[in-house]
Copies of this chain bind each other. A is one copy, B any other.
């Protein structure tokens, strides 16, 4: 027999039944939940219905859920509803705001249960919870990946003072089958499927940005919730498909500033269907240009030490967006306004700051 749980690992995984909400943005009946039933049925769902609010969304029986359509969002937020996107899955962030739980898991409705290499169904949520409950290691790279996983540890040369790690704020999961490609790559490689199961979880180092995909994503709402704003996309906006990217860039800059960790890797979900690359190209078009300026902006962004809460960091970031990105496009002035509105709305719905009730 080999061994031996990591001296650092936490096991077995708690279910966190009363501490986690699953947020699902959708425009259709949620048949996909049938496949997730064994893993999701103990949790509360927050369904954010996009598009026509008069349409009735069917949810399979036995699930515990609340559902918000556009009318509900407008009623709850009033004029501040302007910060929530319409006709775009970016609307999901409304669910983060109305949740009262410590943890959020968000998943797209075209994502199914994937199988690990042994053929076993992957309980994605359990792995996300593991990721969130174990520390991250943002300040130094561990070559055997997550040192807190069973069968792994810190390797020779890893400074001992850094082995406590940092609290994990985000767990970014991946996708088998249809990879999360942009429209140009979809167009160039229409047949490419992700078949590589990489059995790893790792911390994205401090100071490094990454493309955060919202398809299969969990986070600690108390630690980072107010930064998880998915921006202005869809109806009436010049851009789409950058909602999660925007949230990821802001979140990473703030996590780095506050000493929080971001993990990526396991768990995989099965992404069933590629979206239309032509439609995607239209949505992404401006973003392809803009991101060339956005990335250097976020790479250079520095937050003052005085910003010690996520809200303070986010408001500061909105000021920098306004000051430095308005020249890219007037859209960014509107987005900076929306960032402020988002925080105002967040604080209104979550008056007791970020402390658990």
Contacts and interface: CB of A to CB of B under 8 A. Distances in A.
A155 interface: yes
Contacts of A212: 157
The binding surface of chain A is classed by DSSP as loop
B174 A144 contact: yes
A206 to B, nearest CB: 8
Interface string A322-350: 00000000000000000000000000000
A3 interface: yes
A115 to B, nearest CB: 15
B143 A155 contact: no
A234 interface: no
A207 B210 contact: no
Interface stretch (A24-32, A79-87, A158-166, A311-319): A158-166
Interface stretch (A50-58, A218-226, A288-296): A288-296
Can you tell how many copies of this chain the complex includes?
A: 2
A357 interface: no
Contacts of A181: 153-156
Interface in A161-199: 161-162, 172, 174, 179-182, 184-185, 188-189, 191-199
B153 A191 contact: no
Given A141-B208, A143-B211, A151 B198 contact: no
A248 interface: yes
Interface string A56-82: 000000000000000000000000000
Interface of A: 1-4, 7, 117, 139-145, 151-162, 172, 174, 179-182, 184-185, 188-189, 191-200, 204-213, 241-242, 244-245, 248, 264, 284, 288, 291-292, 295, 299
A4 B189 contact: yes
Given A3-B193, A188-B7, A198-B145, A291 B153 contact: no
A153 B4 contact: no
A191 B2 contact: yes
Given A143-B174, A144-B179, 19 more contacts: A2-B191, A2-B192, A7-B188, A141-B204, A141-B264, A143-B172, A143-B213, A151-B193, A154-B182, A155-B180, A156-B213, A157-B291, A159-B295, A160-B292, A161-B292, A162-B295, A196-B199, A198-B199, A205-B205
